[in-house]
Amino acid sequence: MVSFAPYAAAREQPKGADMNNDFIEIRGLCLPRRMVLQGLASLLGCAFAPSTLSAAVQSCALTTSDIIGPFYRFGAPFQTKLAGPNEPGERLIISGKVYGSDCRSYLPNTLIEVWQANNAGQYDTDKPGNFTERVDFHLRGMMLTDQQGNYEFETIMPGRYPVPPNLPGLEKYAGLMRPAHIHFRVSEILHVPLTTQLYFKGDPNIAHDPWARSKPSMAIDLKQDGKFLHGNLDIVLDNSQAPPS
C-alpha cells in the first residue's frame, strides 16, 4: 500500500511553488505532484512514469453526445452489413473499440445501434418521431462488441439533407443543410448510455451545423482501402452513475 504519512506535516505550500505543476492539494495536504502520480501508478499496478500517467489522464476524454435526431426507430435487425450489394453510394466500413471511462478497459457485449440516410439524404421513414413505425428497416442495424470491445459495420456514405420543417424544438433550423453523418446509440449495463453522431472531416457543412461544429472529435478521417472507404471511431463511455462494486 502506498503511504502518504511522511508528508502529513506538509500542510503549507512551499514559497514559489506552482500548485498546478509541483504540488497537489488532497484533503488539505499539499503533496508533491510526482509522489502523488507515483502512488496512483502503484495502486493501479502500472509501470508508468509520472509524466506518462499524467499525459494519459489528461488525454482521456468521454465521447461527446449529440441529439438523437427525428428518425430513430427502435428494433433494427442485428446486422453488420447495413447496405446491400445494389445500394447506391460509396462503400464505407466503420470500425473501432468501445472503452470504459478510464480509456483502457475494453467493454465487451456492448450494444451499438446505428442508422443513417441513403446517399440521396433520405431515411427509410419520412415520419419524424415515429420510433415504432412498421416499415422495413433500411441502413439500420444493431450489433454487439466482441470480447476486446471491437465493432465493425459495412454501409455506404450517407447523403446530406436539409432539416425538415415543423420539427418540435427545431423549427428555427428548418432548411439547414446537415453534414453527412451516421447516428450511434451505445449501451452497456454499467455505463451511461450514449447517443451521438459521427461526422467526416472536410465536410463543408460542418462549419455551419449547430451540432457538428462544436464536436471536432466526432469528425473522422477516411482512407481508401480497395473499393471501400475506411474510418475509425473509438468510443469512451461514462460510468460515473454505475452502482458501487
Maximum Cα–Cα distance across the chain = 73
Question: Which CA distances in Å does 199 have to 119, 124, 135, 179, 213?
Answer: 14, 20, 27, 7, 10
Catalytic residue among 73, 140, 181, 191: 181
Q: Check: CB of residue 219 under 8 Å from CB of residue 206.
A: yes
Among the options 73, 138, 140, 183, which is catalytic? 183
DSSP codes joined into one string, 171-201: GGGTTPEEPP-EEEEEE-TTSB-EEEEEEET
CA 134 to CA 125: how far, in whole Å? 10
Residue 66 φ/ψ, nearest 5 degrees: -150, 170
Examine the residue annotation and report whether 7 is marked as an active-site residue of this protein: no
160 classed as catalytic = no
Cα–Cα distance for residue pair 11/50, rounded to 1 Å: 22
User: Which one from 73, 140, 178, 191 is the annotated catalytic residue?
Assistant: 178
Which amino acid, 37?
L
Q: By C-alpha distance, which of 105, 101, 81, 223 is closest to 156? A: 81
Q: Which grid coordinates are listed for 25?
A: 492539494
Is 134 designated active site? no
CB 100 within 8 A of CB 236: yes
Active-site residue, selected from the candidate residues 123, 138, 151, 199: 123
208 annotated active-site: no
Catalytic residue among 99, 151, 161, 199: 161
Single out the residue of 89, 228, 221, 235 nearest to residue 151, CA to CA. Answer: 235
User: Is 106 an annotated catalytic residue?
Assistant: no
List active site positions: 123, 161, 178, 181, 183
